[in-house]
Structure 1
């Protein structure tokens, strides 16, 4: 099993009840990444229903989830031939940290779109011309940055040098670091893997997600994923972020939209 598979592995301990030991490696600061938490919830929802994929996940982040033991509760509200819908809660220290409404279904990996609108797959420079994080050393690990293999389009990374581009946009290549091909749960991670697009508007520090909805549109082909994050409005301390995920075959495989608070760090 891959490192990501182990980090999201759940154990059924009762009817609609699962146990997990949340992995500290997927933390950004003290808080676990929202995409990682959604992957965990999606695994439980799929296990509790007769379908293979999390088609729609609408997650509300109520409290910061931290590394360590947690419980997942799945309350299946409806089960049909093509879809099932469940209310799924992540509970830690007897408090709900994340609550989600998840619809599962089964996608045909060979299915082709009946119609696909614009824009096409975002144009990214070749991987070798993109900006990556420095490799981990035995003395230093950086949490989430070491659990994903990401290469960022340099044109969207001016915020790192104090020169934000003035437009809420980020683009990057995404893979799991052990070379494992992406599945549904890696897509859940990918839609929340980019730094906040508000950084390119001059925002700083942690930007906590309040609500995030993502949709799985297709089973991804083997190879890297292309991520394109954008936003429409920053106002009153809130900003929105939309992410599209494209696979190596040029297909749109996941979409997300979230509302988040503007970072206030230095």
Structure 2
């Protein structure tokens, strides 16, 4: 098990109850990354049901999550032959931080799609033509040291005070220790991009209120291509959609979230 696997590991302590030590390496500022937390919840949901993959996750972020001991509570609502549904909560210091509904199923890694749309245009440029990772973006290096991301320069004008005017970001994503992507890495990947609203002139932390993501296929080894976009910024709220494509050119994950616009620099 690699570094990320260890950071998201859960231990069953009772029926439907899991202990976890939330890793401060996934902090962005003072809050733990939402995708990291969803990976933790997914591990508990998979352990509590007979299926191998978190097919669908819908999560409400109620409070900011910090590092340290926490508990995951899994209430399995229904178990079927192809899918199981559970209510999964993250609790820390007696307070519920995340409420989610997770459906697990088992995907065949060798399955071919009956139909698939075209990859997004424009694509992410080759890795060698992309900018360095988050180490050059974040003031606090925690999360930046846990992922290896290379960004399409055409979507990074906001860094120089020249936002593109369109809510778009594109990047390559992988773990720095070479750990292959799995279901839990996909949970991290769908929330790894900086907020797309930065390219509309927004600044600062943009807290996620609700995020839904779907695992569509078991990813092939190699880097993942992330395509982030949005449709509307209004009244201090914006949406963000992310598609994750694997090295074989397959769509392996999709997400949509609603978030608040950042208020600080």
> Which whole-Å CA distance do the structure 2 matches of 1:120 and 1:211 have between them?
24
> Which whole-Å CA distance do the structure 2 matches of 1:62 and 1:118 have between them?
36
> Which whole-Å CA distance do the structure 2 matches of 1:122 and 1:185 have between them?
27
Q: Deviations over 1:199-224 (max 9, x none)?
A: 00000000000000000000000000
What TM-score comes out, normalization by structure 2 length? 0.97
1:15 aligns with 2:15: yes
Confirm or deny: 8 A CA contact 1:51 1:106 kept in the other structure: yes
Count of aligned pairs between the two proteins? 263
Confirm or deny: 8 A CA contact 1:121 1:250 kept in the other structure: no
> Which whole-Å CA distance do the structure 2 matches of 1:128 and 1:163 have between them?
23
Partner SS state of residue 202, structure 2: coil
Confirm or deny: 8 A CA contact 1:122 1:228 kept in the other structure: no
Hey, which bits of structure 1, 4+ residues long, moved more than 4 A?
119-122
Confirm or deny: 8 A CA contact 1:122 1:226 kept in the other structure: no
> Which whole-Å CA distance do the structure 1 matches of 2:260 and 2:180 have between them?
32
1:206 aligns with 2:215: no
Confirm or deny: 8 A CA contact 1:204 1:263 kept in the other structure: yes
- Provide structure 1 residue ranges, at least 5 long, that are not aligned to the other structure: none
> Which whole-Å CA distance do the structure 1 matches of 2:199 and 2:254 have between them?
21
Equivalence map 1:1-266=2 (5 Å):
1-120=1-120, 123-133=123-133, 142-266=141-265
> Which whole-Å CA distance do the structure 1 matches of 2:55 and 2:229 have between them?
22
Confirm or deny: 8 A CA contact 2:46 2:104 kept in the other structure: yes
Q: Deviations over 1:53-74 (max 9, x none)?
A: 0000001000000000000000
Q: Aligned in 2, Cα 1:135/1:37: closer, same or farther, shift over 3 Å? A: closer
- Provide structure 2 residue ranges, at least 5 long, that are not aligned to the other structure: none
> Which whole-Å CA distance do the structure 2 matches of 1:194 and 1:120 have between them?
16
> Which whole-Å CA distance do the structure 2 matches of 1:141 and 1:163 have between them?
22
What TM-score comes out, normalization by structure 1 length? 0.96
Partner SS state of residue 155, structure 1: helix
Shift of residue 240 of structure 1? 0.1
Shift of residue 134 of structure 1? 7.2
Shift of residue 152 of structure 1? 0.3
Shift of residue 121 of structure 1? 7.1
Deviates more, 1:113-122 or 1:239-248: 113-122
Confirm or deny: 8 A CA contact 1:41 1:88 kept in the other structure: yes
